[in-house]
Structure 1
Amino acid sequence: MRRVVLILIVLISVPALAQEAKKWTLKECVDIALENNLRIKRSFYNVESFRANLLQSKGSFLPTLNAGGGFTKNYGRALNPVTNQFVNRNSDAINSSLNASLTLFNGLRLQNTFRQSQRDVLAANHDLQKAKNDVVLNVVTLYTNVIFNQELFENAKYQLNSSQQQLDRIKKQVEAGALSISNQLNQEAQVATNELNMINQENALLLSVLQLKQAMQVPATENMQIEIPDLQLEDLVLEQNAEAVYKIALESMPEIKSAVLKMESANLALKANRGSYLPRLSLTGLASSNYSSVSNAARYQPDGTFSVGTSPIGVTAGNQQVYAYQANLVQIAPEYGQADQLKDNVFKSVSLQLSIPILNGLATRANVQRAIISKEIAEISITETQNTLRQSIETAFNDAQAASRSYASALKQVKAQEEAYRMNKQRFEVGALSVIEYQVSENDLFRAKSDLTRSKYNFIFKKKILDFYQGKPIEF
């Protein structure tokens, strides 16, 4: 029989051990959240988009180079591109070209656009860091809530166990006739109340764990337990006041840097648009060649000798025919093919192009006005971001001060309630205190411990937030 019981115990305990959840540290939770967060991924691709714009603005300083070519099949009367004469026969034609252009001056638009793209990339990187910071703060908040609810749940379990043990003692006293049945009923009601309180605390714990999972982008079915760090309050003193923390945050927070860079970018965009009022000077070069099948015949050149022509070129006053000397030709090639024609017919040109804007439908003026408005909005965004940061720091500092005072008060309250509960318990065990009075003392102690736990984690978290605004990493 004992062997059967032992086997059953093993069979029951093995699945429980196999299903034991991994304990997640704060760093692991933050790393998973940073890896899975979609806002961070969107910010990352936003950075890559601005990097592509920067690459394009760099390339604008380089000359453009384009090659082209074409083949034409002519039927009937057509223009010979080699001799520029019309021929009445079917023919083939090939043309090729290579052109290049380099902007020498365009009102410094290229330079200002390049500097604007540099600011945009830096601002996007700071926006990415801001997105990461928001995720870290959110995970730390939810992680702290889990720890807080875990301790409240443990306190509720302890209170339920204590009240259950007290109920067992009261039952024995009722059976012995030392207490009335009403004492037992009152204690049973207290046990039920404590059980309900424990269930509520467990529900709060499960909800906080679910919220943490959602922030990490992991399935709700993931079995998860949080590693409870050993959090100790070294002191209740805040090293920096709100104004000092704000000044430090102005130099370190990425949202401030991003807002300043975006204002600089808007200013450079304004300069670039104003450059459209100035003339544009560019250097262009062209090389082209062509081929025609009409010219594809045997090729001749003079051999250095001359002979009298066979056809008269005129008559004299004595009515005598006049003949001219003509160079004797020798064949040098049986045809004038594509390669030779394209080589011999090369045309090259270099030119300077000057464009002076006079009237373009007020497009430049409208672009400049929009750029001015964007700059004004960017300056407003800087002030708005600074105000938001200041308000967040002032709120966190005020909350930290309040939590510090609450913790000190709660600590005194717990010590007093523990001593009162210890004395009331002794009096109750000897029958000098009623069940109702004992239950009130027990409940007061539980509330005091809950308040102490709440103020403890609230102060730790608020102090960590102030450290974060000073550029310090959040670590437990």
Structure 2
Amino acid sequence: MQVRKIFRMNRGLFLVSVLWLGWGPFASSQELDASADTLELTLNKAIELALTDNPTIHMANKEIERVDYAKKEAWSSLFPAISADGSYTRNMKLQVLFLPDGVFGPGTGGAMEMGFKNSFTGSVTASMPLFSYSLYQNIKISEHEVKAAFESARASRINMAAEVRNAYYGLLLANDSYAVMQKSIENAEQNLVNVKNMFDQGMVAEYDVIRSEVQVRNLRPSLVQAENGVRLSEMMLRVLLGVRQEIEIKVMEELFDFENRVGAATTSGDVDLSGNTDLVQLELQLDKMQTQYNLVRSQRYPNLAGFINYQAVSQANDFQFSEYRWANPFSMGLQLSIPIFNGFSIHHQEKQVAIGMEQMQIQREYTERNLTLQTRNVYTNMMKALEQIDSNREGVKQAERGFSIAQTRYNTGSGTFLELNDAEMALTQAKLNLNQAMYDYLAAETEYLKILGQDLPSIGQ
């Protein structure tokens, strides 16, 4: 039965849920009113909570902030760099100058001491790059990193929204399946009452009463499994939203509230992957590698910088600073650096980056082919789900009519309990199949638009 399939699917997710919940609520579910004991949830509100509170989204936003500062750091290299230095030297022995005898008259010459015991020097230096091709390429690389961070954040939001939608749809499917099973038990219990009344009147055999009681008992485990499916689906949604266990979740929508969206994303089978976040990130990496190639080549270009230097210099044998005489040399100029030969290292670096670009291009083409096939496969699943919805909806109508006829035949004595039981089981299975077909379409639509890098329209749009 369909409800057992749902239970087995959710049972596989249970261990993951337990592990995640062991970390505790990660989100600002603490931002929810602490006194509130019920969270009324819609799909749009669930996505809003996840995108606001999920740590993956927070980390992506922090990465954007980090690379923005890295970009500003790269731009700051174009501004003047100013530094101040100071030094004190104690000359334990003064330097000497050797002069030939008689250079300044008879008896002069030999070794003559020069300078003073104390030497003070202070300087202020400012330098600024006037032309440096490598600096401009570094700035471009930082801009590529900013774009990559924004795209990574967009990918995180798209993936998180898709996960929340799937979990939300899974909870709606579990709720509807539970309602179907509950209705099935109500029908079986009502049949049991009718059969007992007919048995008391001698209209049916005791076998029908026994068979009816067995039918009710056989349905109860399925109802328990459906209830477990609801609980596990809700647990998965709590994990994604970071909602505390003590807060009750009340979903305000049903699975078929989204029926107006069926077919909205299936107007064309054309594949447009221009918005796919994986391909966009690969394109950004290719652009960045091209800039890295230019950065390597920039080592072949000359660098030109301007500088200004101001000093204050004085020497004395004592520490009477007020009587010091200070010299103030001042200089400014240009510094040109021209690379001539570096042992072919730049050439080899260029080859490495060029090969890396070729590898990235191959990876991009491979990814695009896989995504194209994946998109067409998901699109095909959507088309099949649409056909299944129409078929199952007609099946429910026929099963309802069949169940009504079987009840009438049995109550008039012209039908058997086996016919009534089969009709009731067929109606239950038809409703479960219709719910599953609707879920399959919504899940396929979520995956389809996730691959395309698009967001799903809100309900009502």
TM over 0.5: yes
Are 1:382 and 2:400 matched, yes or no? Answer: no
The aligned residue for residue 158 of structure 1 is 183
Aligned Cα root-mean-square deviation (Å): 2.8
Q: Is the CA contact 2:185–2:220 (under 8 Å) kept in the aligned structure 1?
A: yes
1:366 is displaced (CA, Å) by: 4.4
The whole-number CA distance in structure 2 between the counterparts of 1:380 and 1:86 is: 74
Please state whether the residue corresponding to 2:330 is helix, strand or coil: strand
1:151 partner letter? D
Q: Is the CA contact 2:124–2:309 (under 8 Å) kept in the aligned structure 1?
A: yes
Are 1:167 and 2:154 matched, yes or no? Answer: no
1:465 is displaced (CA, Å) by: 5.2
1:119 is displaced (CA, Å) by: 2.1
1:162 is displaced (CA, Å) by: 1.0
Q: CA 1:131 to 1:19, structure 2 compared with 1: closer, same or farther past 3 Å?
A: closer
Please state whether the residue corresponding to 1:451 is helix, strand or coil: helix
Identity %: 17
Q: 2:135 aligns with which of 96, 110, 120?
A: 110
Q: 1:232 aligns with which of 251, 259, 276?
A: 259
Q: CA 1:356 to 1:87, structure 2 compared with 1: closer, same or farther past 3 Å?
A: closer
Please state whether the residue corresponding to 1:283 is helix, strand or coil: strand
The whole-number CA distance in structure 1 between the counterparts of 2:118 and 2:293 is: 53
The whole-number CA distance in structure 2 between the counterparts of 1:406 and 1:209 is: 26
Aligned ranges for residues 69-468 of structure 1 at < 5 Å?
A: 69-72=86-89, 74=90, 76-78=92-94, 86=113, 91-106=117-132, 108-229=133-254, 230-233=257-260, 236=263, 239-243=266-270, 246-247=271-272, 249-250=273-274, 252-294=275-317, 336-337=323-324, 341-342=325-326, 345-360=327-342, 363-463=345-445, 466=448
The whole-number CA distance in structure 2 between the counterparts of 1:52 and 1:237 is: 42
The whole-number CA distance in structure 1 between the counterparts of 2:261 and 2:248 is: 33
The aligned residue for residue 319 of structure 1 is none
The aligned residue for residue 326 of structure 1 is none
Q: Is the CA contact 2:125–2:308 (under 8 Å) kept in the aligned structure 1?
A: yes
Are 1:44 and 2:61 matched, yes or no? Answer: yes
The aligned residue for residue 301 of structure 1 is none
1:387 partner letter? R
Please state whether the residue corresponding to 1:102 is helix, strand or coil: strand
Q: CA 1:296 to 1:419, structure 2 compared with 1: closer, same or farther past 3 Å?
A: closer
1:258 is displaced (CA, Å) by: 2.9
2:377 partner letter? T
Q: 2:83 aligns with which of 55, 63, 66?
A: 66
1:435 is displaced (CA, Å) by: 1.9
Please state whether the residue corresponding to 1:162 is helix, strand or coil: helix
Q: CA 1:96 to 1:258, structure 2 compared with 1: closer, same or farther past 3 Å?
A: same
Q: Is the CA contact 1:124–1:258 (under 8 Å) kept in the aligned structure 2?
A: no
Q: CA 1:45 to 1:373, structure 2 compared with 1: closer, same or farther past 3 Å?
A: farther
1:214 is displaced (CA, Å) by: 1.2
2:165 partner letter? V
Q: Which digits, 9 at most, give the CA deviation of each residue in 1:375-394, with x for residues without a partner?
A: 23432343244334423421
The whole-number CA distance in structure 1 between the counterparts of 2:167 and 2:453 is: 21
Q: Which has the larger radius of gyration?
A: 1
How many residues are paired up? 407
Please state whether the residue corresponding to 1:289 is helix, strand or coil: strand
Q: CA 1:52 to 1:376, structure 2 compared with 1: closer, same or farther past 3 Å?
A: farther
The aligned residue for residue 28 of structure 2 is none
Q: Which has the higher contact order (CA 8 A, sep 6+)?
A: 2
Q: Which digits, 9 at most, give the CA deviation of each residue in 1:231-256, with x for residues without a partner?
A: 3347658653222xx22x41x34443
The whole-number CA distance in structure 2 between the counterparts of 1:176 and 1:434 is: 17
Please state whether the residue corresponding to 1:77 is helix, strand or coil: coil
Q: CA 1:448 to 1:124, structure 2 compared with 1: closer, same or farther past 3 Å?
A: same
Please state whether the residue corresponding to 1:67 is helix, strand or coil: strand
The whole-number CA distance in structure 2 between the counterparts of 1:140 and 1:335 is: 79
Q: Is the CA contact 1:104–1:282 (under 8 Å) kept in the aligned structure 2?
A: yes
Q: Is the CA contact 2:266–2:379 (under 8 Å) kept in the aligned structure 1?
A: no
TM-score, length-normalised on structure 1?
0.77
* Unaligned residue ranges in structure 2 (runs of 5+): 1-34, 97-111
Please state whether the residue corresponding to 1:218 is helix, strand or coil: coil
The aligned residue for residue 8 of structure 2 is none
* Unaligned residue ranges in structure 1 (runs of 5+): 1-17, 298-333
1:69 is displaced (CA, Å) by: 1.2
TM-score, length-normalised on structure 2?
0.80
1:209 is displaced (CA, Å) by: 0.9
The whole-number CA distance in structure 1 between the counterparts of 2:342 and 2:261 is: 70
